[in-house]
């Protein structure tokens, strides 16, 4: 009987202690930038030329960088989305992003060639 009393007391005490579980998944998709980066690649692969900027932004994480300028009466916006990891330095650089190019809020292209075409 004494054994049951001790076992019950220990069990009751353990059940009342607060618990804490720590998961450190260093090999999986455990950080938000990794999830955003993967999602951005998937979404960009499904974009269509002619989509409106608002519709594109609804599908992607916020851009890392942006540029805007006018040329010959038309407005150009270039939004840079993180799509690839190069260095673990805590900073996102342009070479880790994919540019999406909009003319008058309409998607006209993405990638380095589209960006270079509007820059020249």
Residues 81 and 89: their CA atoms lie apart, in Å, by 17
| Greatest CA separation for the chain | 92
What DSSP state is assigned to residue 61? P
| Residue given tokens 């890392």 in the structure block | 64
Q: Name the 3-class secondary structure at 49.
A: coil
pLDDT by residue (tens digit) across 4-51? 657 656 556 655 655 544 444 444 445 687 888 999 999 999 999 999
Report in angstroms the alpha-carbon separations of 74 from 70, 104, 106, 112, 115.
5, 6, 11, 21, 16
Non-local (6+) Cβ contacts of 104 within 8 A are 74, 75
pLDDT by residue (tens digit) across 43-89? 999 999 999 999 999 999 899 999 999 999 999 999 999 998 777 76
Domains of the chain in start order, with CATH, are 50-120 (3.30.1450)
Residues 97, 80: contact at Cβ < 8 Å? yes
pLDDT by residue (tens digit) across 102-119? 999 999 999 999 999 998
């Amino acid at each position: 009987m004494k054994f049951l009393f001790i076992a019950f007391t220990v069990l009751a005490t353990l059940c009342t202690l607060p618990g804490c579980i720590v998961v450190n998944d260093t090999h999986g998709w455990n950080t938000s930038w990794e999830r955003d980066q993967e999602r951005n690649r998937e979404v960009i692969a499904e974009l269509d030329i002619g989509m409106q900027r608002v519709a594109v932004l609804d599908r992607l994480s916020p851009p890392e960088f942006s540029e805007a300028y006018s040329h010959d009466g038309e407005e150009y916006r270039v939004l840079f989305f993180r799509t690839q990891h190069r260095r673990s330095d805590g900073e996102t650089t342009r070479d880790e992003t994919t540019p999406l190019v909009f003319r008058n809020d309409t998607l006209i292209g993405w990638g380095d060639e589209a960006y270079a075409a509007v820059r020249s």
